[in-house]
Structure 1
Amino acid sequence: MYLNVHSHYSLRYGTIAVPKLIEAAAAKGITQMVLTDLNNSTGVMEFWRACNAAGIKPIGGLEFRRNKKLLYIGIARNKEGMKELNDFLTFHNLKQQELPDQPPVFKNCFIIYPYVYGKILRENEFMGIRFDELHQLYEKEIKDFAAKLVILQPVVFLDKIGYRLHEYLRSVDLNTLLTKTSTADKCSPSDTFLPPGELETRFSKYPFILENTRQLLDGCVMDYEQGKQKLNRKTFTGSMSRDKELLEELAMKGLAERYGEGHEKALEKVKYELKIIHDLNFCAYFLITWDIIQYSVSQGYYHVGRGSGANSTVAYCLRITDVDPLELDLYFDRFLNAQRTSPPDFDIDYSWDERENVQQYIFEKYGAAHTALLGTMSTFKDRSVIREIGKVMGLPKAEIDSFTDRTQDLANQGNPTFKKIMAVAELMNSMPNQRSIHAGGVLISEEPITYYTALDLPPKGMATVQWDMYEAELIGYDKYDILSQRGIGHIKEAVRLVEQNLGLKIDVHQVKKFMKDPALNARLQSGNTIGCFYIESPAMRQLLAKLKCDNYLTLVAASSIIRPGVAQSGMMKTYIQNHHQPETVNYLHPVMKEQMQETYGVMVYQEDVIKVCIHYAGMNSSDADILRRGMSGKYRSRMEFDKLIDKFFAGASKLGREEVTTKEVWRQVSSFAGYSFSKAHSASFAVESYQSLFLKTYYPIEFMVAVLNNYGGFYSRWLYVHELRKAGARVHLPCVNKSTPVVSLSGADAYLGFIGILGLTLKLMEQIPEERHRNGDYLDLTDFVKRTAISLDQAIILIRTGALRFTGRSKKELLWDVHSLLGSKVKVQNHAQLFEAEHKHYQLPEFVNTTLEDAYHELELLGFPLSLSSFDLLQTDYRGHPQTNDLFSYVGQIVKMVGLYVCEKTVHTKNNKKMWFGTFLDAEGNFFDTTHFSSSTPSYPFRGAGCYLILGKVVEDFGYPSVEVIKFAKLPIVGNPVLE
């Protein structure tokens, strides 16, 4: 009898998770019900599966609301009906049109309106009447519409606590106080499952309404195919046999190109993979990915193919990836095997400014009805929930801040308000909050996607499904990950700049040649890798130096052991030690030596976890992979996951492994697996790192400009400007006659772009170079003002930045002139000046402009000084001793250094204390690193950008020196002369 059930996917309205909903319904003896979440079908397929498992008949539907007001409820008679409802909502979402008062005539759906006496209804339309509305039928002539009345008993919560939670959710949604949330904005206190038989009792005087409701429910069925399905597009060519032939043809062609003729091992591997790909019906998946790559290559786009798909030699032959699985002995079964329950995965990275075009191609090629972006569900989380609850309770900000501060939890324990908030927070925590968009997942469906979901239109402007990757997998969809990252943008832009600035065309895909280049490997070993993809962070540069990494295979390992799991488990240090002394390795068990000799018995890759589970604990490959996925958060069932852990220990015991050894093996597995990369993933990153290394080594100026123009990387913008100068460039302040929005380059002269100037409008950044290209260089300030119609405040910013220095006049003279031209108040002008007006001329006193003043202007408007170094701004001339290059000579000694702050990182120790790592530049522009223990740092905290005086002890770890800080203080700088 329940035609209007809501789950917690009725965002900020419903309170019940789907499993709890099914459990409660079963306990009440309910045999069939309809899920009708508000303006979404996110939970319908989950509801269908859970009901089937519980022996309850599921029926799909949607509740349609406009401006939070109920219009009507749609109930699907079958799968086709669910598509009709989803299509209807999708149309209005994608067109961004309001829902109409009356929906179209559906062939396979029922429509339920709220009760209104005398409403004229179509054949498939009904009126839902609540038990507290039955009195409205009194003395009414109802025989003409008696057959159209059905029971409307909404379900929103399960108990009183659930209703209170609903009230909080409504207040959060409306951004108002609990006391100001109106009755109309909330559900009725009776919107829940009633005790068995009570609903029938309440409608006993109207048995025809009961019968109408039963007949409606009995006429509905979710006739989706039972069991695990594959819903992706089934063929690429239109025929499975032709797909098989085409994939084999392309693979063999690529085999010859990649490995040459007569490479028996490669041929054997490709044939093996092709058989599995065909047997598991993944030919179309490979061909569609190949097609996407073909399109992007035709557009001149760079890509990196990574993820577990890079384990495939077929993918290498199709040029989906540039990682050679044979060279690295990659584990194809990590990607695709007959037992694997999860779908395969290709991650294709593009430059941030090219990805959207690739996605658009996919939509156009495979059709709007069959293509959508993958969604994601953000949830109420952690302390942000407390803030939301505090706001709707009307608490002052200071009190809310104290409740969100974990350090005050103990002091707040006796506070009844805090206890109340924490109780509500526990209920809200992890509840769905809003639908969003996945980082890059694209679905390409055989059937129209709206059989399974309605579609949203997020800000990106492409249709997006209403559920996430986990639900997609359970329904039967394998996603295509079309991702973006800055590193590819750096490479692409650097290649373009080399051609533009030096007239050279270079090929950055000669990666195997790069890997053998002594100059690149020397740079890699030194850790001089600022700007290079994935290998520029302080931790990574330290690791490269400690490993003395001078080759591709070691870099592949480094890309994985830098991940938190390896470092936190203590295995990073073990790996470095074993790398330098492989003959002294003490393997935990013979299986470790047999399976992981390449990595000295240390689990470095996800494949290592699988190998240990299979060969040490005797698990099958499917269970081993599920266990690995569970540790990385990609497996939802905790109960099933715990069973696999038990299986690991039971299997190890059955094979006669010692319990103490098994516990240590498991410790390493569990601490590592959640943060690890697959070997193919690390190898893909390492390929891109070598491309960056090549450009940084041989074309350093162009490379650093490319990094700046793609919005940098790990560090602040000023550090990349510093690196650009170190590369030999003459770096100039922005200039209205030279600059563009981004950094422009001519020979060794690099002009900073307008984008870096604080307060400058985007419109003006684009207008200045556009006008210059149309009508030539600006002649003087007056000419510039006339041609750009610039406002006074924007002109002042440019003058203070030094962007009008081409005039030969000082900043103070220009400021005087611009006020004379534009007046003392900001004038908004919508057009350029048409006629030249004569200006009065005055005899001005001599204005003195100093380099120090310039530096302060640059600090304010660019965020860093260019006219002077940060060291030149210090009140002291002391520059510390020793400098970075001499640190080795002072290992074990106390030193006093001066360093320019670059960045810091906070970590938690095993006993949950904090410690910090700092990175600084010395006066010679070289990096050094510091360690700050919790015993000293509270007394000597980081205080942001600037130079610090550092007293510490020089220590050395695997040949890498750093400073353990004893005392630490930020140094004062000279005052701003303008303010003195």
Structure 2
Amino acid sequence: GYFLIVADFIKWAKSQGIPVGPGRGSGAGSLVAYSTTITDIDPLRFSLLFERFLNPDRVSMPDFDIDFCQDRREEVIRYVQQKYGRDQVGQIITFGTLQARAVLRDVGRVLQMPYGQVDKLSKMVPQNPANPVKLADAIANEPRFAEEAEKEPIVQTLLDTAQKLEGLYRHASTHAAGIVIGDRPLSELVPMYRDPRSDMPVTQFNMKYVEQAGLVKFDFLGLKTLTVLETAVKLIRRRGVDIDLATIPLDDKETYSMLSRGEVVGVFQVESAGMRKALIGMRPDCIEDIIALVALYRPGPMENIPTYNARKHGEEEMASIHPKIDHLVKETQGVIVYQEQVMQIAQELSGYSLGEADLLRRAMGKKIRAEMDKQRERFVSGAVERGVSKPQADFIFDLLAKFADYGFNKSHAAAYAVVSYQTAYLKAHYPVEFLAASMTLDMS
């Protein structure tokens, strides 16, 4: 039922001329999603894994993230409301928590401390939105906190109080993209409330508890790049050329030449100065290069970009991890880039099913010692049974554990690389129309 519901509103959107992204997140690894036009990424062509999306060894609901043209996303939500009933469709509440910097500022305000002093203290906490630093860790690693507390007792009061309040809910908001659809009025299933900023009802349960109550979440996201592409295609049509973005060749030399020159203004995902430099060094000549770059260009993995580039251009020999698994990393120049590669290596080397391999990947990401020890024993014994020496198996397990920390979802990288390539293709062949569309959207 879930697949059919998603397929229905995507087909409706496409029938109304509303641009829909080719895919997003792990859902692009599903062949059923591709065959029902939920996604436009062929998982067989890109070697994507269904088990990364829906694991038979882990009880969880499927979860498609769908990108729609930013200007017309609301039309799709209205269609869903009309089809299933306004009282059966709602948004999901989210709760903002007090994190280290925010809790220092809030407690400092209550203690009536000078703004400049509190601001200085809060900025001693490292800024890492992806993995927020706990206040206790920041205090332990930053000696200036102790120095300031010694100078003024109120600073110690601030630090003690802030640590007690850290992690508590600060405010309620509405999930930016999440929508739930019920088989009956939502008020019969979960408590509801009205967000004054929205005309849709909102669940009082957050995402975790909404799922436990039996509701399924659908993500309706707005992506302005889809609006740019649609506008550019309409402008190109004025000169008598009809472009179908789903069928443009993925091996166009002009497009890759433009990317290799770093001419990336307006090109989705790759227009930053750092990406431009990476592209010039990489000199991409296939869509797999763009997929790898989308995955690599993040803190941590980006240190592997020079290695990838050197091996791609024959300046460095590709090091062998193990003959049994070298073919799994050949596409990425011997560098483990994707979460799916971690899963495939566990399958090939140690006899994991892909479902079990996904659980291994998750365990490596969480770094829970007891679970890691259990997985190491399973991985090493499986590898030894298949002719791998124990030291080699231990080495490869540690290597995978390191990469699992920041390995990227290949399904998502592939989907966004295709959108990036589509923008690059239009810029390379129809620069006037593409840049006009891009600038028009920026102006509005």
In the TM superposition, what is the alpha-carbon distance from 1:707 to its structure 2 partner?
Answer: 1.6
- The corresponding residue for 1:709 is 440
Distance 1:632 1:481 in 2: 24
Q: 1:364 to 1:652 in 2, by over 3 A?
A: same
Give 1:607 shift. Answer: 0.8
Q: CA deviation at 1:675?
A: 4.1
- Output the CA distance in 1 between the equivalents of 2:222 and 2:298: 20
Q: Is the 8 A contact 2:336 2:342 kept in 1?
A: yes
Greater length-normalized contact order (CA 8 Å, ≥ 6 residues apart): 2
Cα displacement string for residues 432-484 of structure 1 (whole angstroms, at most 9, x for unaligned residues) = 22222223122222344334422233323322222333334444444222111
Could you tell me which residue of structure 1 aligns to residue 411 of structure 2?
680
**Residue 129 of structure 2 aligns with which residue?**
none
User: Does structure 1 conserve the Cα–Cα contact (< 8 Å) formed by 2:363 and 2:372?
Assistant: no
SS at the partner of 1:377?
strand
1:828 match = none
Task: Give CA-to-partner distance per residue, 1:164-202, whole Å, 9 cap, x none.
Answer: xxxxxxxxxxxxxxxxxxxxxxxxxxxxxxxxxxxxxxx
Deviates more, 1:400-409 or 1:419-428: 400-409
| In the alignment, structure 1 residue 412 sits paired with structure 2 residue 129 | no
* Residue aligned with 1:354, SS: helix
Q: Percent identity?
A: 32
SS in 1 for 2:249: helix
The alignment status of 1:526 with 2:264, answered yes or no, reads no
Aligned match of 2:319: 586
Q: Structure 1: 5+ residue runs without aligned partners?
A: 1-283, 712-741, 743-754, 756-980
The 8 Å contact of residues 514 and 690 in structure 1, kept in 2 or not, is answered as: no
Change (3 A) 1:530 1:608: same
2-structure distance, mates of 1:662, 1:582: 29
Contact between 1:341 and 1:622, CA under 8 Å: does it hold in 2? no
Provide the C-alpha distance between the structure 2 equivalents of 1:422 and 1:434, rounded to a whole number of angstroms: 21
How far apart are 1:686 and its partner, in Å?
1.7
- Within-5 A mapping of 1:259-298: 284-298=1-15
Contact 1:379 1:432 in 2 (8 A): yes
Deviation, 1:670, is: 4.2
Question: CA 1:440/1:592 → structure 2, altered by over 3 Å: closer, same or farther?
Answer: same
* 1:340–1:621 contact (8 Å) kept in structure 2: no
Q: In 1, Cα distance between the equivalents of 2:281 and 2:358?
A: 32
Deviations 1:549-594 (A, max 9, x none): 0211221222212233412xx4333333333339932222344315
* TM-score for both structures, normalised by structure 1: 0.40
Query: What amino acid is aligned across from residue 222 of structure 2 in structure 1?
Result: S
For residues 426-575 of structure 1, what are the structure 2 equivalents within 5 Å? 426-458=163-195, 459-499=197-237, 502-511=238-247, 513-567=248-302, 570-575=303-308
- Please say if residues 55 and 358 of structure 2, whose CA atoms lie closer than 8 Å, have aligned partners that are also in contact: no
- Post-superposition shift, 1:524? 2.4
Which of 114, 117, 126 pairs up with 1:399? 117
The one-letter code of the counterpart of 2:12 is Y
For 2:27, which of 306, 309, 312 is the aligned residue? 309
1:598 aligns with 2:331: yes
Instruction: Please state how far the C-alpha of 1:303 moved relative to its aligned partner.
Output: 0.8
In 1, the alpha carbon distance for the partners of 2:351 and 2:163 equals 40
- The amino acid across from 2:85 in the alignment is G
Aligned to 1:45: none
Q: Structure 1 residues 398 and 560 mapped into 2: Cα distance closer, same or farther (>3 Å)?
A: closer
1:300 aligns with 2:37: no
Q: Give how far 1:391 is off.
A: 0.8
Contact 2:363 2:371 (8 Å CA) reproduced:
no
1:701 match: secondary structure: helix
Distance 1:628 1:479, change over 3 A: farther
Q: Is the aligned partner of 1:653 residue 2:380?
A: yes
Structure 1 pair 557–439 and aligned structure 2 pair: CA distance change class (3 A): same
Deviation at 1:671, TM superposition (A): 4.4
Amino acid at match of 1:325: P
Summarize deviations over 1:303-329 as a string: whole Å, max 9, x none.
Answer: 112222211222222222221122112
CA spacing shift, 1:380–1:295, aligned 2, 3 Å: same
Distance 2:99 2:396 in 1: 33
The amino acid that maps onto 2:68 is: Y
Q: Deviations over 1:786-812 (max 9, x none)?
A: xxxxxxxxxxxxxxxxxxxxxxxxxxx
For residues 175 and 68 of structure 2, the distance between their equivalents in structure 1, rounded to whole angstroms, comes to 16
Question: Which residue of 2 is the match for residue 383 of structure 1?
Answer: 101
Q: Deviations over 1:58-79 (max 9, x none)?
A: xxxxxxxxxxxxxxxxxxxxxx
Q: How many residues align?
A: 419
8 Å CA contact 2:190, 2:213 repeated in 1: no
Q: Distance in 2 between matches of 1:613 and 1:469?
A: 31
Report the Cα offset of residue 298 of structure 1.
1.8
Contact 2:325 2:345 in 1 (8 A): yes
Describe how 1:94-105 pairs up with structure 2 within 5 A.
Answer: none
From the superposition, tell whether residues 580 and 702 of structure 1 become closer, same or farther in structure 2 (CA, over 3 Å): same
Greater per-residue helix proportion: 2
Q: Aligned partners of 1:401 and 1:394: how far apart in 2?
A: 13
Q: Where is the strand percentage greater, Structure 1 or Structure 2?
A: 1
> Is there any run of 5+ residues in structure 2 with no aligned partner, and where?
125-141
Distance in 1, matches of 2:67 and 2:227, equals 10
1:758 is aligned to none
Cα RMSD of the aligned pairs, angstroms, is 2.8
Q: Who wins on radius of gyration, i.e. which is larger? A: 1
CA shift for structure 1 position 667: 5.1
> What are the within-5 Å matches in structure 2 for residues 857-936 of structure 1?
none
Verify the 8 A CA contact 2:92 2:207 in the aligned structure 1: yes
Q: Which amino acid aligns with 2:145?
A: D
CA distance in 1, matches of 2:119, 2:86: 47
Instruction: Report the AA paired with residue 356 of structure 1.
Output: E
Go from structure 1 to structure 2 and tell me whether the alpha carbon gap of 1:591 and 1:465 turns closer, same or farther (over 3 Å shift): farther
Alpha-carbon deviations, 1:463-516, whole Å to 9, x = none?
2222333334444444222111221121122223334xx4435324244x3313
Aligned to 2:50: 332
**Cα separation, 2, equivalents of 1:448 and 1:519:** 54
**Structure 1 residue 689: Cα displacement:** 1.4
> Of the candidates 629, 640, 643, which is equivalent to residue 370 of structure 2?
643
2:137 alignment counterpart: none
Question: 1-side partners of 2:217 and 2:159: how far apart?
Answer: 38
Tell me how far apart the structure 1 counterparts of residues 209 and 335 of structure 2 sit (CA, whole Å).
Answer: 34
Question: For residue 409 of structure 1, what is the amino acid of its counterpart?
Answer: F
